[in-house]
Amino acid sequence: KMPEESIDHIDFNVLNQKAISQPLVKHIYTADPSAHVFDGKIYIYPSHDVDAGIPFDDLGSHFAMEDYHIFSMDSIDSEAVDNGVALHVQDVPWAERQMWAPDAARKDSKYYLYFPAKKADGIFQIGVAISDSPTGPFKAEPQPIAGSYSIDPAVFEDLDGSHYIYFGGIWGGQLQKYRDNQYDISNEEPLPNEPALCPIVAKLSDDMKQFAEAPKQLKIVDENGHLLLAGDNDRRFFEASWMHYYNSKYYFSYSTGDTHFICYATGDNPYGPFTYQGRILNPVVGWTSHHSICEIDGKWYLFYHDSSLSEGVTHLRSIKVTELTYDAEGRIQTINPYKD
Protein backbone atom coordinates (compact mmCIF):
# COMPACT_ATOMS: atom_id res chain seq x y z
CA LYS A 1 0.00 0.00 0.00
CA MET A 2 1.10 3.50 -0.68
CA PRO A 3 -0.15 5.32 2.44
CA GLU A 4 -1.36 8.91 2.36
CA GLU A 5 1.76 10.14 4.11
CA SER A 6 4.08 8.74 1.43
CA ILE A 7 2.25 10.31 -1.51
CA ASP A 8 4.80 13.13 -1.56
CA HIS A 9 7.37 10.53 -2.59
CA ILE A 10 5.43 9.12 -5.53
CA ASP A 11 6.52 10.23 -9.00
CA PHE A 12 3.14 10.15 -10.73
CA ASN A 13 4.70 10.20 -14.20
CA VAL A 14 6.49 6.97 -13.36
CA LEU A 15 3.42 5.56 -11.63
CA ASN A 16 1.20 6.25 -14.63
CA GLN A 17 3.70 4.52 -16.91
CA LYS A 18 3.55 1.50 -14.60
CA ALA A 19 -0.25 1.53 -14.33
CA ILE A 20 -1.85 -1.40 -16.14
CA SER A 21 -4.66 0.87 -17.33
CA GLN A 22 -5.45 4.56 -17.71
CA PRO A 23 -8.53 6.45 -16.44
CA LEU A 24 -11.67 5.86 -18.55
CA VAL A 25 -12.83 9.39 -17.72
CA LYS A 26 -10.63 12.45 -17.30
CA HIS A 27 -12.92 15.51 -17.38
CA ILE A 28 -14.45 14.73 -13.97
CA TYR A 29 -13.45 12.46 -11.09
CA THR A 30 -15.32 9.16 -10.86
CA ALA A 31 -15.17 6.16 -8.51
CA ASP A 32 -16.87 2.92 -7.42
CA PRO A 33 -17.74 1.78 -10.97
CA SER A 34 -20.66 -0.65 -11.27
CA ALA A 35 -20.64 -1.98 -14.84
CA HIS A 36 -23.44 -3.74 -16.71
CA VAL A 37 -24.18 -4.76 -20.29
CA PHE A 38 -27.69 -3.90 -21.45
CA ASP A 39 -28.64 -4.71 -25.06
CA GLY A 40 -25.01 -5.17 -26.06
CA LYS A 41 -23.81 -1.80 -24.76
CA ILE A 42 -21.68 -1.18 -21.65
CA TYR A 43 -23.03 1.13 -18.94
CA ILE A 44 -20.98 2.27 -15.95
CA TYR A 45 -22.69 3.59 -12.82
CA PRO A 46 -19.98 5.31 -10.73
CA SER A 47 -19.82 7.82 -7.90
CA HIS A 48 -19.01 11.37 -9.04
CA ASP A 49 -16.16 12.61 -6.84
CA VAL A 50 -15.87 16.31 -6.00
CA ASP A 51 -13.74 18.35 -3.65
CA ALA A 52 -16.17 20.07 -1.28
CA GLY A 53 -13.33 21.33 0.93
CA ILE A 54 -14.38 19.09 3.84
CA PRO A 55 -11.41 17.88 5.92
CA PHE A 56 -10.37 14.19 5.87
CA ASP A 57 -11.76 12.04 8.70
CA ASP A 58 -12.34 8.33 9.45
CA LEU A 59 -16.06 8.73 8.73
CA GLY A 60 -15.35 9.72 5.11
CA SER A 61 -16.97 13.16 5.45
CA HIS A 62 -14.65 14.35 2.66
CA PHE A 63 -16.55 12.07 0.26
CA ALA A 64 -19.22 14.74 -0.27
CA MET A 65 -20.66 13.71 -3.62
CA GLU A 66 -23.86 15.37 -4.87
CA ASP A 67 -24.92 13.63 -8.06
CA TYR A 68 -24.43 10.73 -10.47
CA HIS A 69 -23.25 10.69 -14.09
CA ILE A 70 -23.64 7.48 -16.08
CA PHE A 71 -21.14 6.48 -18.75
CA SER A 72 -21.82 4.38 -21.84
CA MET A 73 -19.36 2.54 -24.09
CA ASP A 74 -20.06 0.87 -27.42
CA SER A 75 -17.27 -1.63 -26.74
CA ILE A 76 -14.54 -2.15 -24.16
CA ASP A 77 -12.03 -0.21 -26.29
CA SER A 78 -14.25 2.73 -27.12
CA GLU A 79 -14.61 6.08 -25.37
CA ALA A 80 -16.66 6.30 -22.16
CA VAL A 81 -19.39 8.82 -22.99
CA ASP A 82 -20.69 11.06 -20.20
CA ASN A 83 -24.50 11.16 -20.33
CA GLY A 84 -24.78 14.12 -17.94
CA VAL A 85 -26.44 14.37 -14.54
CA ALA A 86 -28.67 11.32 -14.06
CA LEU A 87 -29.76 12.12 -10.49
CA HIS A 88 -28.94 14.99 -8.12
CA VAL A 89 -29.27 14.88 -4.33
CA GLN A 90 -31.54 17.95 -4.51
CA ASP A 91 -34.07 15.83 -6.35
CA VAL A 92 -34.10 13.07 -3.74
CA PRO A 93 -36.75 14.07 -1.16
CA TRP A 94 -35.31 12.04 1.73
CA ALA A 95 -31.56 12.55 1.13
CA GLU A 96 -29.36 15.40 2.31
CA ARG A 97 -25.78 14.57 1.35
CA GLN A 98 -23.05 12.09 0.39
CA MET A 99 -24.27 10.22 -2.69
CA TRP A 100 -21.93 7.22 -2.36
CA ALA A 101 -21.39 4.13 -4.48
CA PRO A 102 -24.44 3.23 -6.62
CA ASP A 103 -25.52 0.28 -8.74
CA ALA A 104 -28.24 -0.32 -11.32
CA ALA A 105 -30.48 -3.11 -12.59
CA ARG A 106 -32.96 -3.63 -15.38
CA LYS A 107 -36.30 -5.38 -15.21
CA ASP A 108 -39.05 -5.40 -17.85
CA SER A 109 -37.49 -2.49 -19.80
CA LYS A 110 -37.26 -0.21 -16.74
CA TYR A 111 -33.97 0.75 -15.12
CA TYR A 112 -33.44 1.04 -11.37
CA LEU A 113 -30.63 3.05 -9.80
CA TYR A 114 -29.82 2.07 -6.20
CA PHE A 115 -27.82 4.53 -4.16
CA PRO A 116 -26.87 5.32 -0.55
CA ALA A 117 -27.12 8.81 0.89
CA LYS A 118 -27.24 10.43 4.32
CA LYS A 119 -30.49 11.85 5.63
CA ALA A 120 -30.57 15.11 7.60
CA ASP A 121 -30.02 13.07 10.80
CA GLY A 122 -26.66 11.84 9.44
CA ILE A 123 -27.85 8.24 9.01
CA PHE A 124 -27.24 6.44 5.70
CA GLN A 125 -30.11 4.69 3.93
CA ILE A 126 -30.45 3.26 0.44
CA GLY A 127 -32.82 4.65 -2.15
CA VAL A 128 -34.03 3.65 -5.58
CA ALA A 129 -34.68 5.88 -8.60
CA ILE A 130 -36.37 4.76 -11.82
CA SER A 131 -35.96 5.55 -15.51
CA ASP A 132 -36.99 4.24 -18.92
CA SER A 133 -33.38 4.70 -20.08
CA PRO A 134 -30.18 3.09 -18.74
CA THR A 135 -28.56 6.55 -18.69
CA GLY A 136 -31.43 8.32 -16.92
CA PRO A 137 -32.53 10.85 -15.91
CA PHE A 138 -33.75 8.85 -12.92
CA LYS A 139 -36.68 9.83 -10.70
CA ALA A 140 -36.17 8.99 -7.04
CA GLU A 141 -38.84 7.33 -4.96
CA PRO A 142 -40.05 9.71 -2.22
CA GLN A 143 -38.77 7.50 0.62
CA PRO A 144 -35.66 5.34 1.05
CA ILE A 145 -36.15 1.57 0.84
CA ALA A 146 -37.91 0.57 4.07
CA GLY A 147 -35.55 -1.29 6.38
CA SER A 148 -32.43 -0.30 4.40
CA TYR A 149 -29.28 0.95 6.07
CA SER A 150 -25.56 1.53 5.55
CA ILE A 151 -23.96 1.91 2.08
CA ASP A 152 -22.75 0.38 -1.18
CA PRO A 153 -25.79 -1.38 -2.70
CA ALA A 154 -25.05 -3.94 -5.41
CA VAL A 155 -27.87 -5.70 -7.23
CA PHE A 156 -27.50 -9.16 -8.74
CA GLU A 157 -29.93 -10.86 -11.11
CA ASP A 158 -30.04 -14.59 -10.47
CA LEU A 159 -30.53 -17.22 -13.17
CA ASP A 160 -34.29 -17.35 -12.49
CA GLY A 161 -34.66 -13.57 -12.98
CA SER A 162 -35.04 -12.72 -9.27
CA HIS A 163 -32.92 -9.85 -7.94
CA TYR A 164 -30.90 -9.67 -4.74
CA ILE A 165 -29.43 -6.56 -3.15
CA TYR A 166 -26.15 -6.71 -1.22
CA PHE A 167 -25.02 -3.82 0.96
CA GLY A 168 -23.07 -2.63 3.99
CA GLY A 169 -19.84 -0.94 4.90
CA ILE A 170 -18.12 -0.39 8.24
CA TRP A 171 -16.65 2.82 9.77
CA GLY A 172 -18.12 5.73 7.76
CA GLY A 173 -20.60 3.29 6.24
CA GLN A 174 -22.18 2.81 9.71
CA LEU A 175 -22.68 -0.99 9.49
CA GLN A 176 -21.07 -1.42 12.95
CA LYS A 177 -24.05 0.41 14.47
CA TYR A 178 -26.44 -2.40 13.46
CA ARG A 179 -27.19 -5.86 14.85
CA ASP A 180 -30.09 -7.90 13.42
CA ASN A 181 -31.12 -4.90 11.28
CA GLN A 182 -31.54 -2.66 14.36
CA TYR A 183 -29.56 0.57 14.88
CA ASP A 184 -28.00 1.27 18.25
CA ILE A 185 -25.60 4.19 18.59
CA SER A 186 -23.63 2.30 21.26
CA ASN A 187 -22.82 -0.64 18.94
CA GLU A 188 -19.24 -0.82 17.65
CA GLU A 189 -17.15 -3.27 15.62
CA PRO A 190 -16.73 -6.68 17.31
CA LEU A 191 -13.48 -7.39 19.17
CA PRO A 192 -10.60 -8.74 17.03
CA ASN A 193 -11.17 -12.35 18.17
CA GLU A 194 -14.93 -12.22 17.52
CA PRO A 195 -16.59 -12.92 14.14
CA ALA A 196 -16.38 -9.96 11.76
CA LEU A 197 -19.47 -8.05 10.70
CA CYS A 198 -21.02 -9.58 7.59
CA PRO A 199 -22.31 -7.89 4.45
CA ILE A 200 -26.10 -7.90 4.20
CA VAL A 201 -28.34 -9.47 1.54
CA ALA A 202 -32.05 -9.24 0.80
CA LYS A 203 -34.19 -10.40 -2.09
CA LEU A 204 -35.89 -7.50 -3.86
CA SER A 205 -39.65 -7.32 -4.31
CA ASP A 206 -41.12 -7.94 -7.78
CA ASP A 207 -41.50 -4.18 -8.33
CA MET A 208 -37.78 -3.71 -7.47
CA LYS A 209 -38.63 -0.94 -4.98
CA GLN A 210 -38.61 -2.79 -1.66
CA PHE A 211 -36.98 -5.65 0.19
CA ALA A 212 -39.06 -8.82 -0.20
CA GLU A 213 -37.77 -10.13 3.14
CA ALA A 214 -35.90 -9.06 6.24
CA PRO A 215 -32.21 -8.55 5.31
CA LYS A 216 -29.87 -11.36 6.36
CA GLN A 217 -26.14 -11.65 7.00
CA LEU A 218 -24.02 -13.08 4.21
CA LYS A 219 -21.53 -15.32 5.97
CA ILE A 220 -17.90 -15.39 4.79
CA VAL A 221 -16.00 -18.38 6.18
CA ASP A 222 -12.42 -19.62 5.99
CA GLU A 223 -11.25 -22.96 4.56
CA ASN A 224 -12.36 -24.67 7.81
CA GLY A 225 -15.86 -23.25 7.70
CA HIS A 226 -15.22 -20.69 10.48
CA LEU A 227 -16.49 -17.15 10.13
CA LEU A 228 -13.70 -14.68 9.37
CA LEU A 229 -12.74 -12.74 12.49
CA ALA A 230 -12.99 -9.00 12.99
CA GLY A 231 -9.21 -8.83 13.56
CA ASP A 232 -8.49 -10.58 10.25
CA ASN A 233 -8.16 -7.22 8.49
CA ASP A 234 -6.52 -8.73 5.40
CA ARG A 235 -9.60 -10.85 4.65
CA ARG A 236 -12.66 -9.58 6.50
CA PHE A 237 -15.46 -7.63 4.78
CA PHE A 238 -15.24 -3.84 4.96
CA GLU A 239 -17.39 -2.44 2.06
CA ALA A 240 -17.93 -2.56 -1.74
CA SER A 241 -20.08 -5.70 -2.20
CA TRP A 242 -20.35 -7.24 -5.66
CA MET A 243 -21.86 -10.52 -6.84
CA HIS A 244 -21.32 -12.36 -10.11
CA TYR A 245 -21.90 -15.86 -11.40
CA TYR A 246 -19.27 -17.88 -13.26
CA ASN A 247 -19.11 -21.53 -14.17
CA SER A 248 -21.94 -22.66 -11.85
CA LYS A 249 -20.58 -20.75 -8.84
CA TYR A 250 -21.57 -17.51 -7.11
CA TYR A 251 -18.66 -15.13 -6.52
CA PHE A 252 -19.04 -12.52 -3.78
CA SER A 253 -16.29 -9.88 -3.90
CA TYR A 254 -15.60 -6.93 -1.60
CA SER A 255 -13.03 -4.48 -0.26
CA THR A 256 -11.08 -5.13 2.93
CA GLY A 257 -10.98 -1.36 3.58
CA ASP A 258 -8.05 -0.52 5.85
CA THR A 259 -5.87 -3.22 4.23
CA HIS A 260 -6.94 -2.06 0.73
CA PHE A 261 -7.53 -5.41 -1.02
CA ILE A 262 -10.38 -6.49 -3.28
CA CYS A 263 -11.03 -10.11 -2.25
CA TYR A 264 -13.57 -12.77 -3.11
CA ALA A 265 -15.36 -15.76 -1.69
CA THR A 266 -17.45 -18.40 -3.49
CA GLY A 267 -20.74 -20.11 -2.71
CA ASP A 268 -23.45 -22.18 -4.31
CA ASN A 269 -26.43 -19.83 -3.94
CA PRO A 270 -27.03 -16.04 -3.64
CA TYR A 271 -27.24 -16.15 0.20
CA GLY A 272 -24.12 -18.19 0.86
CA PRO A 273 -22.31 -19.13 2.99
CA PHE A 274 -19.30 -18.01 0.98
CA THR A 275 -15.83 -19.48 1.40
CA TYR A 276 -12.91 -17.05 1.22
CA GLN A 277 -10.74 -17.69 -1.84
CA GLY A 278 -8.19 -14.91 -2.28
CA ARG A 279 -7.32 -11.50 -3.65
CA ILE A 280 -8.55 -10.04 -6.91
CA LEU A 281 -6.81 -6.65 -6.78
CA ASN A 282 -3.78 -5.49 -4.83
CA PRO A 283 -3.84 -1.95 -3.32
CA VAL A 284 -4.28 1.05 -5.58
CA VAL A 285 -3.14 4.63 -4.99
CA GLY A 286 -5.73 6.20 -2.67
CA TRP A 287 -7.30 4.80 0.52
CA THR A 288 -10.41 3.21 -0.98
CA SER A 289 -10.74 0.34 -3.40
CA HIS A 290 -14.08 -0.47 -5.04
CA HIS A 291 -14.87 -2.51 -8.11
CA SER A 292 -17.32 -4.46 -10.22
CA ILE A 293 -16.89 -7.56 -12.38
CA CYS A 294 -18.67 -7.88 -15.70
CA GLU A 295 -18.63 -10.27 -18.67
CA ILE A 296 -18.39 -8.46 -22.01
CA ASP A 297 -18.30 -10.35 -25.31
CA GLY A 298 -17.09 -13.55 -23.65
CA LYS A 299 -14.27 -11.94 -21.66
CA TRP A 300 -14.34 -10.89 -18.02
CA TYR A 301 -13.37 -7.43 -16.80
CA LEU A 302 -12.59 -5.79 -13.47
CA PHE A 303 -13.76 -2.19 -13.24
CA TYR A 304 -11.96 -0.39 -10.40
CA HIS A 305 -10.61 3.02 -9.46
CA ASP A 306 -7.48 4.75 -8.23
CA SER A 307 -6.31 8.26 -7.35
CA SER A 308 -3.50 8.50 -9.90
CA LEU A 309 -5.08 11.30 -12.00
CA SER A 310 -5.48 13.53 -8.92
CA GLU A 311 -1.92 12.61 -7.87
CA GLY A 312 -3.03 10.79 -4.76
CA VAL A 313 -6.02 12.79 -3.48
CA THR A 314 -7.96 9.97 -1.88
CA HIS A 315 -11.46 11.36 -2.53
CA LEU A 316 -10.70 12.35 -6.16
CA ARG A 317 -10.61 9.05 -7.97
CA SER A 318 -10.80 7.81 -11.58
CA ILE A 319 -12.47 4.70 -12.92
CA LYS A 320 -10.42 2.15 -14.85
CA VAL A 321 -10.90 -1.27 -16.40
CA THR A 322 -8.67 -4.28 -16.93
CA GLU A 323 -9.23 -7.87 -17.98
CA LEU A 324 -9.79 -10.48 -15.28
CA THR A 325 -8.85 -14.12 -15.76
CA TYR A 326 -9.71 -17.41 -14.06
CA ASP A 327 -7.59 -20.52 -13.87
CA ALA A 328 -8.97 -23.96 -14.77
CA GLU A 329 -10.40 -24.34 -11.23
CA GLY A 330 -12.22 -21.00 -11.45
CA ARG A 331 -9.72 -19.18 -9.21
CA ILE A 332 -9.38 -15.50 -10.09
CA GLN A 333 -5.80 -14.45 -10.85
CA THR A 334 -4.66 -11.61 -8.58
CA ILE A 335 -4.19 -8.33 -10.45
CA ASN A 336 -1.36 -5.89 -9.67
CA PRO A 337 -2.58 -2.44 -10.68
CA TYR A 338 1.01 -1.21 -11.31
CA LYS A 339 3.76 -3.22 -12.97
CA ASP A 340 7.00 -3.72 -11.00
Binding stretches for ligand FUB (CB under 6 A)? 31-32, 47, 63, 100-101, 151-152, 169, 239-240, 288, 290
Torsions phi, psi for 220 (to 5 deg): -115, 120
Q: Closest distance between ligand FUB and the C-beta of residue 315, in Å?
A: 8
Q: Which is nearer to ligand FUB, 116 or 136 (CB)?
A: 116
Q: Which of 32, 103, 232, 306 is catalytic?
A: 32
Q: Which is nearer to ligand FUB, 235 or 290 (CB)?
A: 290
Closest C-alpha among 123, 29, 1 to residue 315: 29
Q: Which is nearer to ligand FUB, 275 or 313 (CB)?
A: 313
Beta strands 249-255; 139-140: pairing state: unpaired
The contacts of residue 297 (CB under 8 Å, 6+ apart) are: 75, 76
Q: Closest distance between ligand FUB and the C-beta of residue 48, in Å?
A: 10
Tell me how far apart the alpha carbons of residues 127 and 167 are, in angstroms, rounded to a whole number. 12
Q: Closest distance between ligand FUB and the C-beta of residue 117, in Å?
A: 11
Q: Classify burial at 227, counting beta carbons within 10 Å of its beta carbon; exposed 0-12, middle 13-18, buried 19 or more.
A: middle
Q: Closest distance between ligand FUB and the C-beta of residue 139, in Å?
A: 22
Q: Which is nearer to ligand FUB, 56 or 222 (CB)?
A: 56
Q: Which is nearer to ligand FUB, 263 or 275 (CB)?
A: 263
The identity of residue 142, as a single letter, is P
The contacts of residue 253 (CB under 8 Å, 6+ apart) are: 240, 241, 242, 243, 244, 262, 263, 264, 265, 280, 291, 293
Q: Closest distance between ligand FUB and the C-beta of residue 169, in Å?
A: 6
Torsions phi, psi for 166 (to 5 deg): -115, 140
32 is annotated as an active-site residue: yes
239 is annotated as an active-site residue: yes
Q: Which of 49, 103, 152, 239 is catalytic?
A: 239
Q: Output the CA–CA distances (angstroms, integers) from residue 43 to 52, 71, 127, 319, in the order listed.
A: 27, 6, 20, 13
- Give the residue numbers annotated as catalytic, written as ranges: 32, 239
